[in-house]
Amino acid sequence: MHKHGIEALVTLSHYEMPYGLVKHYGGWGNRRTIDFFERYARSVLTRYRGKVKRWLTFNEINTSLHFPFTGVGLPEASGEAAIYQAIHHQLVASARAVEACHEIIPDATIGNMLLGGIRYPLTCHPDDVIETMKSNRDWLFFGDVQARGYYPSYMRRFFRERGIALTITPDDEKTLRANTVDFISFSYYMSGCVSTDAEKNRLARANILNMVPNPYLPSSEWGWQIDPQGLRYLLNVLYDRYQKPLFIVENGLGAKDEPEADGSINDDYRIAYLNDHLVQVAEAIDDGVEVLGYTSWGPIDLVSASTAQMSKRYGFIYVDRDDQGRGTLERRRKKSFYWYADVIKSHGATLRRQPAR
């Protein structure tokens, strides 16, 4: 990467919970995992301190609310109290990694990473608006703790009303407060809506984040709603909330790409998706949001984590492989590859600005 003038951005933990820690210690449910993670983080930070200056702690840390085994190594049947206790241990571990980074690489910066699932109220009924506020707080609380250094008051009410009593030591509180992140990073693929209508919520359970579909938005082949303006909105929400630099570290379109007879892959739909989202990033910058950077998901086709499919492709580079594992693994540049290269070279000047609404 250095040879080609590319700055590395490294995530310490990206959905790879060691099974040994799950089997022998109970994953993040065990407080000892905090120490294990700190030792691991210090080893990695020391090893790459001369090569990497920008770090992230946990990938999409709020995903444990949806997939607790992936996030904290606990089965869904563990219950809310156990999952939130494990999340607390992970938040403390994140703060310890921040402390270690600042100590080992004083000129480096380290951030958190959120799954940016911003929600809108389905209607302007006050019940929908209040429910949306609560729904967004479900994931914003992770950023609140990591950026502000303490549990927000609304989470204390949440725990109280659910009978959840977390074990939070004075040392935990001190660690969280003293080691806040330098910047906020997040993934953004879609937005969704919130409703108090029971039937709409029942139908939404098939959605990846149980969000009610927005009737004004188109969807991808996998039902993920496409909302470029949602990215501008999310950038503004996070910057207003934290006043810290922001980094978009995942954004992209999963789609079925079919090679033409001549071998070319004309993924104009992906170009349109990325173009429209990057235009909204420019709008957010004009709004005054401090945006550190943008990295798409992802540069090369791989197996989609959400569906375990190779056919749900995200990359600028096509890989000859199907869902059954058949193929030569030959790599080919898609049309979007050349388009994105031009966007980078022109510093965004080649983006197609949309007419004012």
pTM: 0.96
pLDDT beyond 70 at 8: yes
Average pLDDT, stretch 76-97? 96
Say how far apart CA 165 and CA 177 lie, in whole Å. 20
pLDDT beyond 80 at 40: yes
What burial class does residue 199 get, using C-beta atoms within 10 Å of its C-beta: 0-12 exposed, 13-18 middle, 19+ buried? exposed
Q: Are 57 and 101 in contact (CB under 8 A)?
A: no
pLDDT beyond 60 at 171: yes
pLDDT (0 to 100) of residue 208: 67
pLDDT beyond 60 at 356: no
Which residue is catalytic, options 76, 80, 250, 258? 250
pLDDT (0 to 100) of residue 357: 46
pLDDT beyond 80 at 344: yes
Which residue is catalytic, options 16, 60, 99, 199? 60
pLDDT beyond 80 at 87: yes
What burial class does residue 269 get, using C-beta atoms within 10 Å of its C-beta: 0-12 exposed, 13-18 middle, 19+ buried? middle
Mark whether 250 is an active-site residue.
yes
Q: How wide is the angle at C-alpha 75 spanned by C-alphas 13 and 193, nearest 5°?
A: 80
Domains of the chain plus CATH, in order, are 9-345 (3.20.20.80)
What percent of the chain is modeled with pLDDT above 70? 98
pLDDT digits (tens, 9 = 90+) for 244-265: 999 999 999 999 999 999 999 9
**Average pLDDT value over all residues in the chain:** 95
Mark whether 260 is an active-site residue.
no
Q: Of 274, 285, 276, which is closest to residue 341 (Cα–Cα)?
A: 274
Say how far apart CA 25 and CA 31 lie, in whole Å. 9
pLDDT (0 to 100) of residue 204: 78
Average pLDDT, stretch 154-165? 97
